[in-house]
């Protein structure tokens, strides 16, 4: 069957290849789920893997099938599978367990091992193919009423985890009732984090470079948040105007923004970094002032990457509540469909060149 892959370490090596069709008996103990792939979302991770910035093939292969944002329909299940059945819409988690204690308790998203396993990213093939099979443990059901949001399930799991991690960590304070949040970045993670925070009742300011009006500002404002162009109002100036935030989610992909966000955080606040920044960039930063402010202010910095099954399920619940609360808004993130596996070059071109695209995704097959 056809699949879209790269040769890790070789820049711009994306290509179509043939791989063996998956079999249900690849998964032991009758726990296999065979899925027909309908759509796969792509993002900066796929672009950076194709740029040879990171990523490794599975042992024994010289290629890596990419794509980690899956949406498909169940074709067949093993005899021990009960939570999904043929015909159900599903997504699939990305990280797979290693051998640390965290992996053994279902927290592979916070593994303490240096080597990690992620489908479509590192050491495991991804979902940009016609079919895949996986253990039922990693298959998450998507309600029929949410099938129009399809590939947003994976990025929503990351947004849901980022917010949850802040609340979990802030239990250190015994009482924490955040009122004001800043979201830095209005890509898919930033917009979905904005939705989660609005559903929790926070006043939210979402910052991005583009001046309003634009699609990003329209979505932010439709969610009842406020859009701020950093070209007009940098985050530190926003903090001077409206007060320093109780919670900041950084989803910019800019290390400079991530660090300067530290100056906009209020007393007892939490800052969550979700984006990964490659390269060797250096900036001048007021380390003494920030150090003193953070120690005296009991502030917290949390890194949040990937998501486990519970975050996926929480993310699906957020999408459902978001549809009920702000009908039709979340779907506007799905800006850029590309038809067919054979269009992978166009998919990558749009991912790199289309600065207006919020979500590029490949329509692999019809139902």
Domain boundaries, the chain: 2-142+335-363, 157-303
User: Which CATH entry fits the domain spanning 157-303: 3.30.870.10, 3.40.50.720, 3.30.1390.20, 2.60.120.340?
Assistant: 3.40.50.720
State mean pLDDT over 144-172: 97
Percentage of the residues of the chain whose pLDDT score is greater than 70: 100
Task: Identify the pLDDT of residue 175.
Answer: 95
The CA distance from 110 to 164, in Å, is 14
Task: Identify the pLDDT of residue 275.
Answer: 86
Element (DSSP H or E) covering residue 92? strand 89-92
The pLDDT-based confidence of 143 (bands split at 50, 70, 90) is very high
The CA distance from 34 to 182, in Å, is 41
Domain range 2-142+335-363, CATH architecture:
Alpha-Beta Complex (3.90)
Q: Residue 122 above 90 pLDDT? A: yes
Q: Residue 276 above 90 pLDDT? A: no
State mean pLDDT over 136-140: 97
State mean pLDDT over 94-122: 93
The CA distance from 8 to 340, in Å, is 23
- Written as six digits, the tokens of 182 are 């800043």
Q: What is the pairing mode between strands 131-135 and 32-42? A: antiparallel
CA atoms within 13 A on the CB side of 20: 6
Q: Are 33 and 21 in contact (CB under 8 A)?
A: no
Task: Identify the pLDDT of residue 277.
Answer: 78
The CA distance from 155 to 41, in Å, is 9
* Whether the domain at 2-142+335-363 and the domain at 157-303 fall into the same CATH topology: no
Task: Identify the pLDDT of residue 279.
Answer: 72
The pLDDT-based confidence of 367 (bands split at 50, 70, 90) is confident
Q: Calculate the alpha carbon distances from 93 to 66, 238, 330, 341, 353 in Å.
A: 14, 36, 21, 21, 28
Percentages of the chain per state (helix, strand, coil), in multiples of 5: 35, 25, 35
The CA distance from 156 to 26, in Å, is 29
Q: Dihedral (C-alpha) 337, 341, 343, 346: value to the nearest 10 degrees?
A: 60
- Closest among 170, 130, 20, 357 to 349, alpha carbons compared: 357
- Written as six digits, the tokens of 362 are 């490949």
Q: Residue 308 above 80 pLDDT? A: yes
The number of beta carbons lying within 10 Å of the beta carbon of residue 300 is 18
State mean pLDDT over 81-93: 98
Q: Dihedral (C-alpha) 133, 139, 140, 146: value to the nearest 10 degrees?
A: 0
């Amino acid at each position: 069957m056809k699949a879209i892959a790269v040769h890790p370490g070789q820049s711009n090596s994306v290509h179509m290849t043939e791989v063996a069709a998956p079999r249900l008996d690849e998964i032991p103990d009758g726990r296999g789920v065979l899925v027909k792939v309908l759509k796969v979302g792509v993002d900066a991770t796929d672009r950076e893997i194709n740029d040879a910035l990171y990523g490794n093939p599975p042992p024994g292969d010289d290629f890596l099938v990419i794509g980690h944002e899956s949406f498909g329909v169940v074709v067949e299940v093993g005899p021990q599978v009960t939570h999904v059945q043929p015909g159900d819409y599903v997504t699939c988690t990305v990280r797979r367990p290693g051998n640390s204690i965290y992996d053994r308790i279902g927290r592979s998203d916070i593994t303490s091992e240096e080597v990690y396993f992620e489908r479509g990213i590192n050491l495991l093939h991804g979902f940009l193919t016609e079919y895949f099979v996986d253990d039922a443990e990693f298959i998450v059901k998507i309600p029929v009423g949410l099938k129009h949001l399809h590939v947003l399930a994976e990025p929503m799991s990351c947004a849901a985890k980022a917010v949850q991690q802040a609340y979990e960590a802030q239990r250190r304070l015994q009482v924490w009732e955040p009122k004001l949040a800043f979201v830095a970045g209005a890509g898919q993670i930033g917009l979905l984090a904005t939705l989660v925070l609005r559903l929790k009742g926070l006043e939210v300011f979402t910052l991005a470079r583009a001046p309003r009006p634009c699609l990003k500002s329209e979505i932010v404002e439709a969610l009842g948040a406020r859009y701020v162009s950093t070209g007009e109002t940098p985050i530190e100036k926003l903090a001077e105007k409206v007060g320093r935030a109780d919670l900041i989610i950084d989803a910019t992909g800019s290390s400079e923004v991530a660090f300067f966000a530290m100056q906009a955080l209020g007393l007892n606040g939490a800052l969550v970094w979700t984006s990964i920044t490659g390269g060797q960039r250096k900036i001048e930063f007021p380390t003494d002032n920030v150090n003193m402010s953070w120690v005296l202010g009991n502030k917290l910095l949390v890194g949040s990457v990937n998501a486990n099954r519970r975050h996926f399920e929480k993310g699906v619940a957020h999408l459902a509540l978001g549809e009920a609360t702000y009908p039709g808004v979340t779907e506007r993130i799905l800006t850029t469909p590309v038809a067919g596996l054979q269009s992978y070059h166009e998919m990558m071109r749009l991912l790199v060149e289309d600065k207006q695209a919020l979500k590029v995704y490949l329509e692999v097959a019809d139902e």
